[in-house]
Amino acid sequence: MEENKPMNSNIFNDTNVHIDESINALLNDASLNNIEELFDSLDKYLNESIKEFKQKQIKKRKKCEHNCTEYIFGRLLIDRTISKYEDLLKPEEVNEKLIFNIPEDKEKYIADMNTRKINDINNYINNFHIQIALLPQFTTENIACVYITGKTCKNQKINDLNKGIDNKKAKADLYIELNNSSIIGFSIKQNKKATKSNFSVQKMLSKEKNQQLTLLRKKIIDESGISHKDKTKRDEINKLFYKTNELPYWTELKSQINLCKSEIKKQLILYLFPIELPYDIYEFDGEKINKLNETIDVNEVLFEEHLPYYYDKSGKLRETAKLFYQLIIHEKIYRVEVRWKGNIYNASPQFQIHDDNEI
């Protein structure tokens, strides 16, 4: 009998391969000697393919530049008769109150909306009506126009308004201009799980420590022998940083965060609650509307590493390249993750701030 050979790993490299083609490829694989091996291999590789496909879909969603909730919020501001998803699909008259970066943006927002769950959109609409009723200054009659700018604003009037302001503080996705010419910003989140803000961790430290940590991070990767230039190796590189209590990089980073805690708290607060803006700014997280530009006393804020976040619901230690902190501001609790987005080799991890929802 011919010795078993490892299965051809290229069979499922393309996650878009049709399921029938996948099965046929397995049936024709000469290395499989019996039906049990067939089903074991089929189960293994289909699971791997599905996992890879889901990861790619998540990455695609993260890159969405036209988040439909921005469009939905804008439509609701100028048309309070909208009460459900179907109302958003009805042909609308040309409305000069709703202003996009470019006219083509509208169709891109609608395309994103068509990928969402109808129930989620209906809940979003219902919560909007409940919350906006608490803010009488934003009646339809009082609104001159709504600028939907998204992440990359191309509206000259809004860009002039934010000139010289840190982009992380000027974080509104949508702006309301009232009849009295005053402008109010709104940061629009898909839901309460969405990231509130993110900022480079190492840039909050001294230049010397930033450089030291960068060299330390790169040394760990270089000594592993894994090529940081190969995008398919990113998961392997990520796993190098799982042991947060053992790696010199994490030990030094935690030490520096602790030493710079007061300044870090101050910066996080200013990004979360930007008081330097020349206009009021609110946030809608799909459930509640909150005003963001309020003065916070940094001495009343708690910011500490939070060990419970390192464990899942079953009490098992998470396998993840993250540090976890807790930020408490006026009894409001935030989960702060120190993690990377993308290439670990060439980038500092970020402080990513979330509401303290279950993870």
Q: Where are the alpha helices (H) located in 31-98, listed in sequence order?
A: 35-62, 68-78, 85-89
For residues 332 and 155, give the distance between their C-alpha atoms in angstroms, rounded to a whole number. Answer: 34
> Which residue is associated with the tokens 């935690």?
254
Nearest to 183 by CA among 150, 151, 137, 152: 137
The angle that helices 248-259 and 261-272 make with each other, rounded to 10 degrees, is 80
> Which residue is associated with the tokens 């179907």?
86
The burial class, CB within 10 Å (0-12 / 13-18 / 19+), for 233 is middle
Question: Domain ranges in the chain?
Answer: 9-62, 68-188, 197-273+295-355
Q: Which residues, other chains included, contact 77 with Cβ-Cβ below 8 Å and sequence gap of 6+?
A: 132, 138, 140, 143, 146, 176
Length of the chain, in residues = 359
SS3 200: strand
DSSP-assigned letters across all residues of 214-265: HHHHHHHHHHHT--TT-GGGHHHHHHTT--TTT-HHHHHHHHHHHHTHHHHH
**Identity of the residue numbered 318:** R
Per-residue pLDDT of the chain (359 residues; tens, 9 = 90+): 444 433 343 433 444 444 555 556 655 665 556 666 666 666 666 666 665 555 555 444 445 689 999 999 999 999 999 999 999 998 776 678 999 999 999 999 999 999 999 999 999 999 999 999 999 999 999 999 999 999 899 999 999 999 999 988 999 999 999 999 999 999 999 999 999 988 899 999 999 999 999 999 999 999 999 999 998 999 999 999 998 888 999 999 999 999 999 999 999 999 999 999 999 999 999 999 999 998 999 999 999 999 999 999 999 999 999 999 999 998 899 999 999 988 899 999 999 999 986 55
